[in-house]
Amino acid sequence: MNKIPGAEQQSSGAVDRAAAAWLVRLEEGEVSGTEWEAFSRWVEADTEHHNAFEKMRTVWELVTPEALEQSEHAAPRVPVATPEISRTFFGLRSLAAAASIVLALGLAFTMLSQRPAEISFATASSIKEIELEDGSRVVLDAETRMSVAMTPERRDVFLAYGRARFHVEKDPGRPFTVYAGGIEAGALGTVFDVTRRDGNISVSIVEGEVAVSGDTPASGRFRHVAGAGEEVRWHPAHPPEVRAFTDGERDSTWVDGFLVFSGEPLELAVRQVNRHSDSHVTLPAGMDPDTPIYGVFRAGDTASFTRALESPSH
């Protein structure tokens, strides 16, 4: 039987190792009442013990597919002990496999702990401008979620949803890369927009150049260095599209809080208006959702947009 760690005071590294050992022991098979009580005492003895076990359990879920190649099933999530919890756990084939899990957990946990901390940003119905620690500025459109990870070597931005304009501060020694779905947009000292909504991703260059790359099921790996006036559009089901846009098509008014419609379907325009307001507009009864709409509206001004829909011209 493996040696079970006790509830004595332990250093941070020892606590992590103890948490990993407990996780492996609980995954080995049927746990006796005495062992379960010992685990309960250990995990409840200190908040650090509980947190370490939770972190190791998270890492377990990350490494299980590779680390359990010798096992018959994927390891289950092991809950913190309570009297109502079943004491039957999945068994590993050998203690050697258990030892390999401890090693994998330790390596994976070390890798995760060395990742740079990410700072998250989110907007609701308003536009927000932020300044990053490197001096770069980012304008976030309404309903946008983004996180940033900065290191001395890299500047990484992860756009989860929405639209953002990046004013990148020049720093040749620290690449600035925006990740959005399957797209990577790398830039140095430039201005560009990245939009990610409903599976569609686009990168529009306002100033400078941006190297846009990614993988698509439809066409494999691609890379294109886009210059000012170019836009790269991408969807997982289609090959990437590179198009040039004129000054008249350049959508820069959104950063100043305006919505410009030049023939977009009414249904799409309504979604755009509602994205920037807590007071939502509904399609007028009997109006075709594909009706093209034209006009300039201040973001959040749903009253003006509604009056325009109700006017005789529409």
pLDDT at 54 over 70: yes
- Percent of the chain having pLDDT more than 90? 28
pLDDT of res. 11:
56
pLDDT of res. 274:
86
Say what the alpha-carbon torsion angle 295, 296, 297, 302 is, to the nearest 10 degrees.
Answer: 10
**Residue 197 token pair:** 């909504």
Other residues' Cβ atoms within 10 Å of the Cβ of residue 95 = 12
Helix (H) or strand (E) holding 238: strand 238-244
237 vs 229, higher pLDDT: 229
Greatest alpha-carbon pair distance for the chain in Å reads 84
Residue pair 169/199 in contact (Cβ under 8 Å)? The answer is: no
DSSP string, 12-28: HHHHHHHHHHHHHHHHH
pLDDT of res. 3:
36
pLDDT at 271 over 80: yes
Q: How confident is the model at residue 15 (pLDDT cuts 50, 70, 90)?
A: confident
Q: What is the mean pLDDT of residues 213-234?
A: 85
Q: How far is it, in rounded angstroms, from Cα 314 to Cα 218?
A: 40
pLDDT of res. 75:
37
Q: What is the mean pLDDT of residues 180-203?
A: 90
Residue pair 157/203 in contact (Cβ under 8 Å)? The answer is: no
pLDDT at 13 over 70: no
pLDDT at 130 over 90: yes
What three-state secondary structure class fits 102?
helix
Helix (H) or strand (E) holding 200: strand 200-207
pLDDT of res. 162:
94
Tell me how far CA of residue 20 lies from CA of 4, 71, 258, in angstroms. Answer: 11, 18, 54
Q: How confident is the model at residue 230 (pLDDT cuts 50, 70, 90)?
A: very high
Q: Read off the amino acid at residue 186.
A: G
Q: Give the burial string for 122-150 (b: 16+ CB within 10 Å, else e).
A: ebeeebeeeebeeebebbbbbbbbbbbeb
Q: Rounded to 5, what percent of the chain is helix, strand, coil? A: 30, 30, 40
**Average pLDDT value for the chain:** 75
Q: In this predicted model, what pLDDT tens digit does every residue of 154-165 receive, in sequence order?
A: 999 999 999 999
Q: N- to C-terminal Cα distance for the chain?
A: 79
Q: How far is it, in rounded angstroms, from Cα 213 to Cα 223?
A: 4
Least confident of 134-138, 175-179, 211-215: 211-215
DSSP string, 224-250: EEEETTEEEEEETTEEEEEEE--TTT-
Q: How far is it, in rounded angstroms, from Cα 231 to Cα 283?
A: 31
255 vs 133, higher pLDDT: 133
- Crossing angle, helix 47-67 and helix 33-45, to 10 degrees? 120
pLDDT at 232 over 80: yes
